[in-house]
Every structure is written in C-alpha cells, then in structure tokens.
Amino acid sequence: MRLPRAADVVVLTAAVWLPLTGTASAADLDCADFPNQAAAQVVLDADPADPNSLDSNGNRVACEAYGYTAVATTAGQVAVQPTGGVAAGDGSSAGRAPDEGGSPLSYVAGGLAFAAAGGAALAARRASRA
C-alpha cells in the first residue's frame, strides 16, 4: 500500500511542477514588443540565430516590414521635449534581450524549496501514522 501513495505524491508533484518549467522560456519577443526598429535590431544582433523570428526574410535586418511610428527630429534632437518624470520601469526583465535574463539560480532555489516542502509534508504524514 505504500507504493501507490508514494506514486500519488510523485504524480501530484509532477503535475504542479511541470507547468512551472515553461516560465523560463516564455520570453518570446515579437516586433510589437519593441518601441522602434533599432531596439529590435539590438536583440537580433545579440543572437544571430534569431529565436524570436525578428528577421522574416533572412537579410539580418530586424522588423523591417513592421510599421513603427517615425519620430520627427531636428538636427539630431527630439522635436517635442518630454515633460514630467522619467519612467524607470518596475525592475522586471520584460523587454530585455534573452541573454540579459536573470540567473537560473532563482529557478533552482524555487525548485529546491518546493521539493523541501513536499518532503516535509510527506515526513509529517508518516510521523502522524506512527
């Protein structure tokens, strides 16, 4: 009878754990994710394998057919001066190039914590039966 219960724990753990493993590779970027073509080009130049399919025709120019809105400039200067504060972001990794992502250490630490919690629950269950 112990083997089926252990198998239940393994299946339950896998059912919860496996959907979480895809979050590390969920940073698929499209042309709409970039404010301009130059930002998309930086990501393409950083990874010439082009995992995000930013270069549809293979000429090494990212998002050339995407309709970015042009900003009028005068002699290298912005035509409209911004007012107010500068948006500094929320500290997340959204919009970063794939090679600038966070360390996988956080995923490993989370997995270890999850496994430890499961082990503690199993140990508590066994102790309550003794």
pLDDT at 117: 92
Give me the pLDDT at residue 82, please.
67
User: How much is the pLDDT for 129?
Assistant: 84
1: pLDDT confidence band, cut at 50, 70 and 90?
Answer: very low
pLDDT of residue 24: 47
Residue 6 belongs to a domain: no
Reported as a single tens digit per residue, the pLDDT across 85-119 is 777 767 666 655 555 555 678 788 888 999 999 99
Under a CB-based contact definition with an 8 Å cutoff, are residues 46 and 97 in contact?
yes
Domain that holds residue 122: 101-130
To the nearest 5 percent, what fractions of the chain are helix, strand and coil? 50, 5, 45
35 lies in some domain: yes
Query: Does 82 reside within a domain?
Result: no
Average pLDDT, the chain: 75
Residue with tokens 């393994």: 10
Residue 1 domain flag: no
Q: pTM, whole model, 2 decimals? A: 0.37
How many domains are there within the chain?
2
CA pseudo-torsion sign 104, 110, 116, 119: negative
pLDDT in tens, 17-76: 655 555 444 467 888 888 888 888 998 898 888 888 888 888 989 888 888 776 555 556
> Is 16 within a domain?
no
3-state secondary structure of 78: strand
- Is 52 contained in some domain? yes
Confirm whether 43 is domain-assigned. Answer: yes
Nearest to 66 by CA among 43, 46, 38: 38
Residue 51 resides in a domain: yes
- Specify whether the CB–CB gap between 35 and 64 falls below 8 A: no
